[in-house]
Structure 1
Amino acid sequence: MAATTPAVELEVDGRTVRVSNPERPYFPARGLTKLDVVEFFVAVADGVLGALRDRPTTLERWPRGVFEGAVMATRSDSHGDAFYQKRVPQGAPGYVETARIAFPSGRTADEVCPTELAVVAWAANLGTITFHPWPVTREDVEAPDQLRIDLDPQPGTDFADAARVAPHVREILHEMGMEGWPKTSGGRGVHVFVPIEPRWSFTQARRATIALGRELERRLPDEVTIKWWKEERGQKIFVDYNQMARDRTIASAYSIRANPRATVSTPVTWEELPDVEPDDFDVTTVPARFAQVGDLYAPLVAGAGPRFSLEPLLELADRDEAEHGAGDLPYPPEYPKMPGEPKRVQPSKDRDRPKDDAGA
Structure 2
Amino acid sequence: MAAKTVLQLTVPGPDGDRTVRLSSPDKIYFPERGITKREVVEYYLTVAEPMLRAVFDRPTNLKRFPDGVAGEAFFAKRVPKGAPAWVRTVTVTFPSGRTAESVAPSEPAVIAWAANLGTLDFHPWPVRRADPDRPDELRIDLDPQPGTGFAEAVEVASVLDEVLDEAGLVGWPKTSGGRGVHVSARIRPEWTFIEVRRAVIAIARRVADRIPDLATVAWWKEERGERVFLDYNQAARDRTIASAWSVRGLARATVSMPVTWQDLPAVEPEDFDVRTVPGLLAARGDPHAGMDAAVGGLETALDWYAADERDRGLGELPYPPEYPKMPGEPMRVQPSRARTGTVRKSR
Q: How would you bin the TM-score normalised by the shorter chain? A: over 0.9
Match of 2:53 in 1: 50
For the pair 1:224 / 2:178, whether they are aligned, the reply is no
The question of 1:309 aligning with 2:287 is answered: no
Question: In the alignment, is the contact (CA less than 8 A) between 1:61 and 1:85 conserved in 2?
Answer: yes
> 1:64-213, aligned counterparts within 5 Å?
64-67=67-70, 70=71, 81-213=72-204
**1:351 maps to which of 315, 334, 339:** 339
Once the two structures are TM-superposed, the CA of residue 299 in structure 1 deviates from its matched residue by 3.1
Q: How far has the Cα of 1:186 moved from its partner?
A: 0.3
Q: Distance in 1 between matches of 2:333 and 2:5?
A: 54
What is the alpha-carbon distance in structure 2 between the residues aligned to residue 274 and residue 306 of structure 1?
Answer: 23
Q: CA RMSD in A?
A: 1.3
SS in 2 for 1:287: helix
Checking the alignment, whether the CA contact within 8 Å between 1:129 and 1:257 is kept in structure 2 is yes
State the Cα deviation string for residues 154-195 of structure 1 (Å, max 9, x = none): 000000110111111111111122110000000000011100
Tell me the equivalent position of 2:20.
Answer: 17
In the other structure, the counterpart of 1:237 is 228
- Cα deviation code 1:217-238 (max 9, x no counterpart): 1100100000000010000000
Cα separation, 2, equivalents of 1:141 and 1:5: 40
Residue of structure 2 equivalent to 1:326? 314
Tell me, what secondary structure is at the counterpart of 1:29? Answer: coil
Supply the distance in 2 between the matched residues of 1:128 and 1:119 (Cα, whole angstroms).
11
Please say if 1:268 is aligned against 2:259: yes
| Cα separation, 1, equivalents of 2:75 and 2:19 | 25
Please give the alpha-carbon distance, in whole angstroms, between the structure 1 residues aligned to 2:142 and 2:196: 16
8 Å contact kept, 1:5–1:23: no
Distance in 2, Cα, partners of 1:176 & 1:82: 38
Does the 8 Å CA contact 1:55/1:114 hold for their aligned counterparts?
yes
Whether the 8 Å contact between 1:4 and 1:24 is mirrored in structure 2 is: no
Aligned pair count reads 337
In the TM superposition, residue 133 of structure 1 has moved relative to its aligned partner by: 0.3
Which residue of 305, 308, 325 corresponds with 1:337?
A: 325
**Match of 1:283?**
274
1:256-292 CA-to-partner distances (Å, cap 9, x unmatched) read 1111100000001111111100000000000011111
Counterpart-to-counterpart distance in 2, 1:230 and 1:4: 50
Rounded Cα–Cα distance in structure 2 between residues aligned with 1:309 and 1:290: 30
Task: Tell me by how many angstroms 1:5 deviates.
Answer: 4.3
1:4 Cα shift?
6.5
- Structure 2 CA distance for aligned equivalents of residues 173 and 49 of structure 1: 25
1:33 alignment partner in structure 2: 36
Q: Is 43-52 or 115-124 further displaced after alignment?
A: 43-52
Offset at residue 152 of structure 1 (A): 0.4
Unaligned runs of 5+ in 2: 342-347
Q: Deviations over 1:23-70 (max 9, x none)?
A: 000011111100000000001111111111100000000001012xx4
TM-score (norm 2): 0.95
Identity of paired residues, percent?
58
CA distance in 2 between partners of 1:63 and 1:176 (Å):
42
Given the two structures, how large is their TM-score scaled by the length of structure 1? Answer: 0.92
Distance in 2 of aligned mates of 1:106 and 1:268: 37
Aligned partners of 1:267 and 1:63: how far apart in 2? Answer: 26
Q: Show structure 1 runs of 5+ residues with no match.
A: 71-80, 354-360
Q: Indicate conservation of the 8 Å contact 1:24/1:33, yes or no.
A: yes
Matched residues in 2 for 1:248 and 1:261: separation? 25
Asked if 2 retains the 8 angstrom alpha-carbon contact of 1:211 and 1:313, the reply is: yes
CA distance in 2, matches of 1:178, 1:50: 19
**Amino acid in structure 1 at the alignment position of 2:10:** E
Q: CA deviation at 1:351?
A: 3.5
Corresponding residue SS for 2:290: helix
Aligned equivalents of 1:132, 1:297: Cα separation in 2: 18
Task: Extract structure 1 runs of 4+ deviating beyond 4 A.
Answer: none
Correspondence for 2:248:
257
- What's the CA shift for 1:306? 2.2
